[in-house]
Amino acid sequence: MKWIWIASEFARKVRFQMRYGELSRAPLKLLRLELREDYAECEWLARPSDPWDQDLSEQIREQNKTSQALQDALTVREFLFSSIPQIRLANLKVYRTTAWHSPQLIITGSVNREDVPPPRIASLVMRAKLYGLHFELVDGALWSPGPESERRRIHDRTKLSWKNAGSRKHINKGEHA
């Protein structure tokens, strides 16, 4: 019964204190919380961009969503360890909703209660990485970590090489340069 009370305290903290973000007024949506002795797993949906950002460039909107997602991840980590003192290690996963309304993993990581970065780290990205979060940034936007990202990078390189090929002399099959 004690664990249910502790988990509900964490959920209340997330619901009320993370009701609005710094860069998005959308609430944080907690998807899953699992507690096991000194270990926790927590998953949530990243906030969408603020409706007031629609007049901003796509790059600025993506940077705002990235900053908000990283701030939220650090705050959820803090709330988890402060609400549940028994937890020593937690696995965090952050998803975003795609255009097809399916969740896409954008941040993951195993965070430890004892991990504390140096106090003078001003960069939000560096603080998140030092706390144990894994993510990939491309032009300030979060990309899904893992093999899918690798496929995207290969695809981008292929597009780049096709662009460069357009400036070269065209060679038909069977011909040599």
Name the 3-class secondary structure at 24: coil
Residue 64 structure tokens: 């705002």
Residue bearing the bigger pLDDT, 92 or 148? 92
For the segment 166-171, the average pLDDT, to the nearest whole number, is 42
Identify the pLDDT of residue 152: 53
| Contact partners, residue 35, CB within 8 Å, separation at least 6 | 3, 6, 7, 84, 87
Taking a C-beta distance cutoff of 8 angstroms, is the pair 75, 10 a contact?
no
44-59 per-position pLDDT tens digit = 999 888 888 888 888 9
Nearest alpha-carbon partner for 42 in 68, 74, 76: 76
pLDDT at 38 over 60: yes
94-126 per-position pLDDT tens digit = 999 887 888 899 999 999 999 887 888 889 999
For the segment 149-161, the average pLDDT, to the nearest whole number, is 47
Nearest alpha-carbon partner for 124 in 80, 67, 64, 69: 67
- Confidence (pTM): 0.77
Identify the pLDDT of residue 34: 93
Residue 116 structure tokens: 């504390």
Q: How high does pLDDT run on average in the chain?
A: 81
